[in-house]
Amino acid sequence: MIRTLLIPFLFISTLTAVDPFLVAPPDDAQIIIHNRILARVNGKSISVMDVAKKMDLLFLRTFPQYASSNIARYQYYEASWKQMLNDAIDKELILADADENKFKVTSGDIRQEMEMLFGPHVIANLHQINMNIDEAQRIVEGDIILRRMTFARVNGKAIRSVTPQSIRQAYDAFVKENPVEETWTYRVVSIRHPDEKVGAQTAEKAYTLLNEQKTPPNELSKQLKGEKLSVNVSDNWTHKSKEISAPIMDALAQLEAGGISSPLVQKSRADRSIVYRIILLNSKTEAGAIPFSQVENQIRDELISKAIADEGKKYLERLHKHFDIQISYTDDFEPFTLRE
């Protein structure tokens, strides 16, 4: 099967599906490896042991706290080996391409990568997974080649393919699919009193306090007191025009940002009593399109990700056709068993 994206340690995203956290780190269980050839790529064999060594490196890097637990490692092996084999086949194809094109890495590059992966105590950390320095260096060298070849053959080409013109075209399509509707952010002051005359007088006083004396809305209840009087101030609401009732929409349409409407007389839906409402417009977003500057980076990243996936798939397809690949295991093969 052709996979689409090539990076070192391709399987890192699926490691989190393995759950070694439920097992005790130290144990006496023994992993039995049934070593045999799983595949041949361009004449080079990939064995169960090869796959196990690659998984050991990644396991140590990802779950160092469980390095001494064979049970945890066995669970990881069981969940990971087929995908790791597929990744190893892809890796060998890319290494074959690198070898054909005389691509090399320096010993300094390998040493720096080893220190980054295993810290200052390289030998001690490798000892935990029964791997010697030569084996680790060969795997690390392959990962460096993989990363650099991938950038040269896939990532670099994909990045160059994303031009200002293609970003602008993608933006135009984005705008059509994501139109910005007219929205309003506002608050509502609601005033109720059983006596409509008192309610009307209180609403006018509230309007004066807000509009002329610049009283903060949340301070109205302190200024407007009376028996059976109810003064409520809503939080800021943000609604699209089509979500707003006609009377409130009419009031908002006459306001600028920061504006205050004169009192509206309405009937409560709950009990049909008279309610006086004052609308305070905080801000308005005009209908139109999201500005290009706000989404340019997002669109570029999405285009690059898609281009990398497409170029990666094409690259692997070419390698699968160019080099010989032979799979030599059956679906019922179990490469690892646990002896407790």
Q: Which CATH number is 279's domain given?
A: 3.10.50
What range does the domain containing 150 cover?
10-164+297-339
- Please state, in angstroms and as integers, the Cα–Cα distance from residue 63 to each residue in 69, 76, 263, following that order: 10, 10, 65
User: Could you give the CA distance from residue 272 to residue 189 in angstroms, rounded to a whole number?
Assistant: 18
Answer yes or no: do 200 and 138 share one domain: no
pLDDT at 69: 87
In the numeric block, the tokens 């069981």 are attached to 78
- Classify residue 95: in a domain, yes or no: yes
Domain boundary among 244, 263, 285: 285
Q: Following DSSP, what letter does each residue of 57-123 receive, concatenated?
A: HHHHHH-GGGTT-HHHHHHHHHHHHHHHHHHHHHHHHHHHHHHHTT----HHHHHHHHHHHH-S-HH
What phi-psi label fits residue 312: left (phi over 0), alpha (psi between -120 and 50 degrees) or beta?
A: alpha
Answer yes or no: do 188 and 279 share one domain: yes
Q: Taking CA 4 as the corner, what is the angle to CA 112 and CA 1, rounded to the nearest 5 degrees?
A: 110
**What residues contact 303, with CB distance under 8 A and at least 6 apart?**
162, 166, 167, 170
Q: Is the dihedral of CA 315, 317, 321, 326 positive or negative?
A: positive
- Classify residue 292: in a domain, yes or no: no
Q: DSSP label at 244?
A: S
Answer yes or no: do 196 and 160 share one domain: no
Instruction: Say what the pTM is.
Output: 0.59
- Classify residue 175: in a domain, yes or no: no
Answer yes or no: do 247 and 309 share one domain: no
Answer yes or no: do 153 and 35 share one domain: yes
pLDDT at 114: 87
Answer yes or no: do 79 and 220 share one domain: no
Farthest CA pair distance, the chain: 96
The residues facing 66 across adjacent strands are: none
Answer yes or no: do 48 and 78 share one domain: yes
Answer yes or no: do 155 and 189 share one domain: no
- Classify residue 178: in a domain, yes or no: no
In the numeric block, the tokens 């929409």 are attached to 249
Q: What is the pLDDT along the chain (340 residues), one digit of tens a residue?
A: 434 344 333 333 344 444 444 444 446 689 999 999 999 999 899 999 999 988 988 888 888 888 888 899 999 999 999 999 999 999 899 999 999 999 888 989 998 988 888 777 788 878 877 788 888 888 889 889 989 999 999 999 999 999 999 999 999 999 999 888 899 999 999 999 999 999 999 999 999 999 999 999 999 988 898 888 999 999 999 999 999 999 999 999 999 999 999 999 998 877 778 999 999 999 998 888 888 999 999 999 999 999 999 999 999 999 999 999 999 999 899 999 998 7
- Classify residue 30: in a domain, yes or no: yes
- Classify residue 228: in a domain, yes or no: yes
Answer yes or no: do 80 and 207 share one domain: no
Answer yes or no: do 91 and 188 share one domain: no
- Classify residue 1: in a domain, yes or no: no
Nearest Cα residue to 98 out of 143, 137, 159, 140: 143
Number of structural domains found in the chain: 2
Answer yes or no: do 150 and 209 share one domain: no
- Classify residue 176: in a domain, yes or no: no
Answer yes or no: do 134 and 41 share one domain: yes
**Residue 142 maps to which CATH number?**
1.10.4030.10
The two three-digit tokens of residue 185, written as one number? 């952010």
pLDDT at 27: 60
